[in-house]
Amino acid sequence: MRRLLSYLWPMKILVTGANGLLGQHLVNLLVEQGYQVVATGRGGSRLPASLAAQCMYHDTDITDEWAVHELFVKEAPEVVVHAAAMTQVDECQLNQERCEAVNVKATAQLVLEAEAVSGHFIYLSTDFVFDGEKGNYSEDDHLNPVSWYGFTKVQAESIVETSELPWAIVRTPTYVEDLAMGVLLIIRKKAEGIYHISGKDRLSPYEMALQTAQVAGLDASLIERVDASVFKQPAKRPPVTGFDISKAKKELGYAPVSFEEGLTLMFANKS
Could you give the CA distance from residue 113 to residue 117 in angstroms, rounded to a whole number? 7
The pLDDT, as a whole number, for residue 233 is 86
Domains and CATH numbers, the chain: 2-201+235-270 (3.40.50.720)
Could you give the CA distance from residue 245 to residue 175 in angstroms, rounded to a whole number? 14
Could you give the CA distance from residue 42 to residue 209 in angstroms, rounded to a whole number? 32
The pLDDT, as a whole number, for residue 216 is 80
Q: pTM of the prediction?
A: 0.90
196 by Cβ neighbours in 10 Å (0-12 / 13-18 / 19+) ranks as buried
Kindly state the helix (H) or strand (E) to which residue 194 belongs, with its residue range: strand 193-196
Contact predicate 31/48, CB 8 Å: no
The pLDDT, as a whole number, for residue 100 is 98
Could you give the CA distance from residue 21 to residue 266 in angstroms, rounded to a whole number? 12
Residue 43's SS3 state is coil
Contact predicate 247/138, CB 8 Å: yes
Could you give the CA distance from residue 221 to residue 9 in angstroms, rounded to a whole number? 56
Could you give the CA distance from residue 7 to residue 114 in angstroms, rounded to a whole number? 21
The stretches of the chain forming alpha helices (DSSP H) are 2-8, 21-32, 49-52, 65-75, 89-94, 96-100, 106-117, 148-161, 176-189, 205-216, 246-252, 259-270
Could you give the CA distance from residue 85 to residue 168 in angstroms, rounded to a whole number? 17
Which whole-number Å values give the CA distances from 27 to 13, 53, 125, 209, in the listed order? 9, 12, 18, 29
The pLDDT, as a whole number, for residue 5 is 46
Which pLDDT tens digits describe the chain residue by residue (271 residues)?
Answer: 444 444 557 899 999 999 999 999 999 999 999 999 999 999 999 999 999 999 999 999 999 999 999 999 999 999 999 999 999 999 999 999 999 999 999 999 999 999 999 999 999 999 999 999 998 999 999 999 999 999 999 999 999 999 999 999 999 988 899 999 999 999 999 999 999 999 876 766 777 778 788 878 888 888 888 776 666 789 998 888 889 999 999 999 999 987 777 777 777 776 5
Could you give the CA distance from residue 80 to residue 112 in angstroms, rounded to a whole number? 12
Contact predicate 157/132, CB 8 Å: no
Residue 23's SS3 state is helix
Which whole-number Å values give the CA distances from 125 to 49, 152, 176, in the listed order? 28, 10, 14
